[in-house]
Structure 1
Amino acid sequence: MSGNIPPAAVAVAAGTPAERLRTLLVAADSVTLLTPTHRAELTGRHRVGPDGRLRVEVPADSGAAHELAREGDLPAVVHVVDLAPIPMPDRVRGRAALTGWLTVEGLRGRRPDLVAVLHLATAGITDTDGTAPVDPDAFATARPDPIAPAETELLRRLDADARTVEQLTGLLPARLRQDGARIHLLRLDRAGIVLRVQSPAGSAARPHDVRLPFARPMRDPDQLGARIDALLGRPPRRVSRAGR
C-alpha cells in the first residue's frame, strides 16, 4: 500500500476551533502572559476551570504580579505554543493567543502567587488543521480531545515502532516522499495521526503536514492499535488482558 491516504478523512472531525484550543492548553510547552508593562512565563501554571475560564498562577516576585495586585484587573494577552514530543528540526505544531481582562481571584502556595482568571474577549488558534478564531462562549463549553493527556506517551511508543512508522509514511502521496524528505509523527488525536514532511536539507520549502484520518474516532488510548490496524489495512489484532 503506498500513496493512498484512506478516504475516511471526512468520517472523523478533528475538532472545532474551541476544542482544538482547549486541547492545545492541556500540554502546552510555552505559556506567556503579557500585561501593558510586564511579561511572565506561566508554563505549568495554567488550567481551565469547570466554568470554562482560563486561570493562571502569576509568580509572586514577578512584575506582572505586582502590577496585578496594585490594579486588581488588567488587560492581558496569553500566548501559547505547542511543540511535538518527537525530536525534529521544526517541532512547533500549534500557536494560540487569548486576550481579555485578567482579574485577581486569590493566592496559592507557600509563596503567595496570585491566582487570576482571564475573562476572555478574543482568541485564535493556528495548528495543523488551520487557522481560526475561537468564540469565547464556545471555548467555555468545549472539551479537550480525550487522547490529549496520553498523547506524548502514545506518540513516543509509536515512533519506536519503525515498521509501523514506515507503513504510515507509505500512505503519503509519492510527491511528498521524495528522496531526502524527513517524515515525522507530529500529532495524535481522536481523529487520526498527523505526519510532518520536511523537505531535504538545504531546501527552503516549508514543512507539509498531512493528516491520516481514522475511520472511527478513538474514545480512549487503548483503541490506538485497532485504529492503526484499520488505517493500514492490517487484520485486527487479538489482545488478551489479565483479568478480562
Structure 2
Amino acid sequence: MRTLARRETMRFISVWQQTLLAPLITAGLFLTVFALAFGRDRAPVMGVPYLAFLAPGILMMTVIQNAFANTSSSIIIAKVQGNIVDTLMPPLSPFETLAGYLAGASARALAVAVVIAAGIGLAIGHWPAHPVLLMIYVFMGALLLGGLGIAAAIYANKFDQMAAITNFIVTPLSFLSGTFYSTDVLPPLFQTLTHWNPVFYLIDGARFGMIGASDAPIGQGLMVIAAFTLIVLGLCWNWLRTGYRMKP
C-alpha cells in the first residue's frame, strides 16, 4: 500500500509544471478575468470584496478537479494500456488499493491548495481566516472526488467514456455549486437543487475557511460531505473487491 501511495504521489510530482504550476496559473487567470470584468463596481458579497469571496471557490474547484484527475487518469491509462494487471496482481486488499490511490489524490489536493492559497494571499492580500478548517475541507474534497475518480475510471473502458463523465458530471457539479456566486441570489427551486450538490458544501466550507462566512451551516455541510464520501468510497471498495470492469 505504501508503494502504491508513493507511485501515485510521484506521478504528479514528476510533472509538477502540469499538476501544480498550471492550476496556480488557471486560478490566477480566473481572478484576473473577474477583476477586469467587474473592476471596483461589484458590490461586496458576504461582507468582503468580490475577489475575496470568489477566491476560495476557485481554490476548492481546482482542488477537487485535480483530485479527480489524479485517480481517474492513473486507472484509465492503466486499463487502456493493459498494465492494470500490475496493480491487481500484488497481494493488496480492496481497502489497501483504495487507500493507496486516495493517498496520491489527497497529496496532490493538499499541495494544490497550499500553492493557490499562498498565491491568493500574495495577490489580493487575503489569507485564510480558519486555515485548519480549510485544510479539513480540502482533505474531504480529495477523498470524495478522488473516490469519484476511481469509480469513474473503473466504469469507463475508453478515454472518451472518461471524458464524458468529466464533461457532463464533474464539471457541471463544480461550476453549479456557488463557486462564482452566493446561492442567496438563486430562485428557490435552484437553491434546493444546489443544496443537493455535495460540491456546494465543499465550496461553502472552503469559503468559510477563507473569509469566515458561508451560505449553509458548517455542521450540516460536514455531515452531507461525509455521507456522500462514504457512499462513493463504499462503491469503490465493492468494485475493487469484485474486480468489476477491472479484470481482463
Q: Which has the higher contact order (CA 8 A, sep 6+)?
A: 2
More helix as a share of residues: 2
Same fold, judged at TM 0.5 (above): no
TM-score, length-normalised on structure 1?
A: 0.25
Please say which structure displays the higher CA radius of gyration.
1
Provide TM-score, normalisation by structure 2.
0.25
Which structure features the higher share of strand residues? 1
